[in-house]
Each structure stands twice: as C-alpha cells, then as structure tokens.
Amino acid sequence: MEKLVIGSRGSELALWQANHIKERLKKECSMESEIQIVKTTGDKILDAPLNKIGGKGLFTKELEELLLKGAIDLAVHSLKDVPVVFEKGLDLACITKRADVRDTFLSVKFPDLMSLPKGAKVGTTSLRRSMQIKLKRQDLDTESLRGNVQTRLKKLECGEFDAIILAEAGLCRLNVQGAKYRKAFSVEEMIPSMGQGALGVEMLKNHKHFITLQKLNDEESAFCCHLEREFIKGLNGGCQIPIGVHASLMGDKVKIRAVLGLPNGKEVITKEKQGDKTKAFDLVQELLEEFLQSGAKEILEKAQLF
C-alpha cells in the first residue's frame, strides 16, 4: 500500500500536529502515512530573536524545498508560520478547524499582566505580542524567549522571567499544566497572529492526492484564515513583524480586526471592519486602505530597526 510522507519539524508540538494529520488521513481518507522530521532554519538558530534571523519562512523553507523535490508528499505547519506568498507550484491543500486563537499569560507568582511589578521581565518570541504588551504596560521589559513549549516553561519556572506569553492552542494540544497562573487574553485585549490556532497542510498543487487532502479542510476556519492572510499580503508582511489580525464569522456577517505598530508600543494602529460575509474580501481591502492612509507602511519600515 502507498504511504504518504509527512514532513514535520521535530518539536513536541510539531509532532503532535503531524500525528493529528496522520490520524485524520487514515480515518477520513483511508490513507497510510509516515512522518519525516526536518530541521528548519528557525529550529537551528536558537540564540537570536526571530526578527534578527531575517527573512520569511524561517519554519517552512526547508520543508518546502523537500516538497518541490518530491522527497515528501505534504508538510504540516502551524498556519501562522506559513508565508502568504508560496514558492511556485506549492499551495495549501487544506486548513484545519481552528483551535483556540487566543494568547495566554503564564506566571509562577503573578495572576495577570496588570499585577506584574514595574520592570518585570516578560518573555515572548513575538514582536506582535511585545507591541500589545507595551501598549498596556510601557513599564514592562519584554525579552526574546526561544525554544519549544517545555523549554520556555522551564525558563519561567527557573525565574528567568516573571511571566511568559504563549499560544493557548499549543498549550491545549500538549495538555500543558505547568505554571501556577494561566490566563488567556481575549482577542480584543490581544489580537492574534494570522492563522493562529489552525494547521496548514502544504503540497505540490499537481500532486495526485492534493484534492483528496481537501477533505480535511474546515470551510469556516479556512475562510477566516484566508481573509487574515490577504490582509498580511497587502502589507507585504510575514510572521516576524508586529501585525495582528483576526477574522470571525457571526452568521452571515464577518468581523475583521487588526493591529500594527512598533514593538515598543509607541506607534500603534488598531482598526476593525464589519459587514456581510459576501463582501468579506472587499472589507479586507477597505481595512488595508485605512491602515495605509494611517501610515502603516512607514511604521513597518521603522519596526525593521528594532
């Protein structure tokens, strides 16, 4: 029997995600598969903040190269890591049903962000999170926090940080207990990254099983994630810049909320649009236009200097 080869990063969370797709392939598509672990640039360089490594596709490039060579059949990504422009011949075969999209505060001593003492050290990999933390608390010290989920939790428990911010979806997938205090921010308090909480399965568009994999697609999640990706694409953005965007459906209505600014929280634009689902992509363009008129490009250029 033919076995599909799934390319995946080697972290515990990445392997949970790859195994999740493997199980669904068997159950819903009657297809056998095996997982091949691949080290990406983002996995190899752990002693520098992600925005200092540079470039897009830090966690996807090596996987995409193997897809193009035919060495693997599909790559499973956290959708938030997937660049909005694909290498020629590649595309997303499916986007899975979204898990919790929120960001979560964790601490050993303090119950929430507002209870942290002045000058407290908050760890995060994300400029987007740093920006929104600084917007609330200019007095906090946000510092780069690299490594897998367990490594980050150990750094918190050892006292290297007073608090850390992680994605709720990853904590739930790994059934993380850990820190004494854990509180998820609402999407209004901290706007998530594009595609946060969803998995993206990338393949060659002409792969014979590309259409088969679409059985794993979740229509509502895919619709919202494509809106978010369209917004990022319009700003020529990637996952290592301070932009948050979240689209949600309420019946036949859609709401798109976005934030963009400097990592220090000094210059920040926050806007939202609501309207009919049928006009959703027009709403994205209107939102983009408002951001551009408010100086979004100039702010993003300044953000590159951080």
Residues 6+ apart with CB under 8 A from 292: none
Compute the distance between CA of residue 49 and CA of residue 58 in angstroms, rounded to an integer. Answer: 12
Residues 6+ apart with CB under 8 A from 243: 128, 193, 194, 232, 235, 237, 258, 259, 260, 300
Cβ atoms 112, 181 nearer than 8 A = yes
Among 151, 139, 95, 143, CA closest to 122? 143
What is the enclosing helix (H) or strand (E) of 177? none
Compute the distance between CA of residue 94 and CA of residue 210 in angstroms, rounded to an integer. Answer: 9
Compute the distance between CA of residue 110 and CA of residue 181 in angstroms, rounded to an integer. Answer: 7
Check 73, 81, 103, 162 and give the catalytic one: 81
Provide the edge-to-edge strand list for the sheet that holds 253-261. 243-250, 253-261, 268-276
Among 1, 60, 41, 9, CA closest to 25? 1
Rounded-to-10 torsion of CA 124, 231, 254, 294: 90
Residues 6+ apart with CB under 8 A from 89: 68, 204, 205, 206
Structure tokens at 83: 């660049």
**What count of residues does the chain have?**
306
Q: Is 218 an active-site residue? A: no
How would you classify the pairing of strands 141-144 and 121-124? parallel
Q: Which residues are catalytic?
A: 81
